Amino acid sequence: MPRFWTNLLGNQLVWLCAVAGASRGWQWPALLAALLYISSQLLTSIHPRLDLRLLMLALACAWLVDASAAASGTVRYAAAPLGWAPPPWIMALWAAFAMTLTTSMRFLQRHPALPFLFGLLLAPLAYLSAARGFAAVQFAAPMWRGLLVLGVGWSVALSLLCWATRRGVRDTAAPPLAGASP
């Protein structure tokens, strides 16, 4: 149980550091918080190789989802050195989120529709919170288009990430004991 809570609360702390830092034009709070969080999670993980693979896949998803949102002009990120590319603080958030897939967000593995719905409905709320609470994200009018781009992108990305998690956990499961019946 303690790993669940450190995983969940640590990820939320990374989010807070990232959006608060980005609102001031800083990348370093997100990068430092993500580095500490990811390191701690990998050191205590029961699937460290899977977590690393998920991290790499999440970074690829970040490029597709957030770069699409930025390139479409519907979303603008604070502290974005390249306007069309996801800023480092967004990449740090995706990397940190990947660490939750085998622990605190494991419930998403229960049904194939959960990641899709979670990504479509709840992921845009995090961006909206970053926009309204911290001015780390700005939406072009009408706002619903940016939220839709992010929601659709996240629903596809999270479905892919959860599929990879299910497959990775299944592949890394311990083999049965000799002579044990399946």
**CA dist., res. 87 & res. 130, Å (int):** 14
User: Looking at residue 161, what is its pLDDT?
Assistant: 98
pLDDT tens digits along 136-161: 999 999 999 999 999 999 999 999 99
Q: Give, as one character, the DSSP assignment of residue 75.
A: E
Could you give the CA distance from residue 182 to residue 180 in angstroms, rounded to a whole number?
A: 6
Q: Mark 39-64 as b/e (b = at least 16 C-beta within 10 Å).
A: eebeeebebeebbebbbebbeebbee
CB-based contacts of 71: which residues, under 8 Å, 6+ apart?
84
**Global pTM value:** 0.91
Residue 180 is predicted with a pLDDT of: 46
Please, what is the average pLDDT of the chain?
93
DSSP string, 144-155: HHHHHHHHHHHH
Residue 77 has pLDDT above 90, yes or no: yes
Report which residue type is found at 95: A
Alpha helices in 2-142 (DSSP H): 2-23, 28-44, 48-71, 88-98, 113-117, 123-134
